[in-house]
A = this chain, B = another copy of it.
Amino acid sequence: MGPHTATGLVPERYRRMVLASRPVDKPDTTHFRLEEVGMPGVAAGQVLVRNRYLSIDPYMVGRMYTTQSYAAAQALGETMVGETAGHVIASQHPDFQIGDAVVGALGWQEYGVSDGTNLRRVDEQRAPLSAYLGMLGMTGVTAWYGINRICRPVEGDTVLVSAAAGAVGGVAVQLAKAKGCKVIGIAGGEQKCHYVTRVLGANACIDYRPLASKEALTEEIFKHAVDGVDAFFDNVNGWVLDAAFPAMSLGGRIALCGMIGRYGNRSMQLLSHHFLLLSRLTAQGFIVWDHVGEWGRAVDELSDLMDGGLLRSEETRAFGIEAAPHACLGLLAGKNVGKQLVQFY
């Protein structure tokens, strides 16, 4: 335990990032505002946490708008919502002690008060603290759910993963490989494709950037999946999803995990969705928060795979809360490899 665990050393003020205004078209850094606020007191039943890591996730951008996301809209002038990992530095709560490593949703701020709801103690002996926001957190469990509950690939199946160099996509690639599948990634740029094949172990990775059309992407998918794609873990939607439809095998499964494609410049409309019917496909949208009952099992399996060396947890870190907006916007531009975190200290 460092000096931050002694309540006597808690500063009087700390910094947080609020939503200053809503984007009309695309979000930029002017939509955020950094504020300094007074340290709150800790009432009975509460704990004060010093956040060390903030998880940056695509859903955060959706929340900046009023009606575009499955998540409730982010309130103006309030602390941006987000998952955090840190240590308890003051506690009036029977379940938490000073020094406990905890994961919660305390938002884009250096410190936060919690009544214990949704605050989980985690074991830093088992995995580094940041892993609980990535591989052993929402990121990993999302990939686990999509692969195990929707894609359901068996050994020898061909599995396609879009945004394969992203946090969730990267785990999905590795989970499918661990099941003995042939895995084809889709990512933007040579460097990312190199990462997806060499580091994550995908059999192939398609760089979509030089492709002029949806049809060209379909053709590339067929090149690597001659007999079709049995399962598609999709983080992009739009033209990438549309390009994959014709390449799906009969009875194929599509896990609709994200729509990062909506922040790009290509079309979101679907024209080839008749393959859902023609090829008897199942497309299922999901959000990991709907399946909290599976969380424990997922984390256990992910931990075992990590221990066995079958899962690599890649991170891109930005430093300091002032870097958070840039990191968040960078996610939309595909600047991260693996899990995007902001480290506060």
A binding-site residues for B, Cβ under 8 Å:
69-70, 237, 251, 256-259, 262, 268-271, 273-287, 290
Contact = CB atoms under 8 A, between A and B. Distances in A.
A70 B256 CA distance: 23
Contacts of A256: 276-277
A287 B278 CA distance: 8
A271 B69 CA distance: 15
A175 to B, nearest CB: 20
Contacts of A285: 275-282
A280 B274 contact: no
30 contacts: A70-B277, A70-B278, A70-B280, A237-B273, A237-B274, A251-B290, A256-B276, A258-B277, A259-B274, A262-B274, A268-B271, A268-B274, A269-B271, A270-B270, A270-B271, A270-B273, A276-B284, A276-B285, A277-B285, A277-B287, A278-B285, A280-B284, A280-B285, A280-B286, A280-B287, A281-B285, A282-B282, A282-B285, A283-B283, A283-B284
A340 B271 CA distance: 30
A281 to B, nearest CB: 5
Contacts of A273: 237, 270, 273
A259 B278 CA distance: 10
A274 B68 CA distance: 9
A256 B273 CA distance: 11
A321 B58 CA distance: 59
Contacts of A70: 277-280
A200 to B, nearest CB: 24
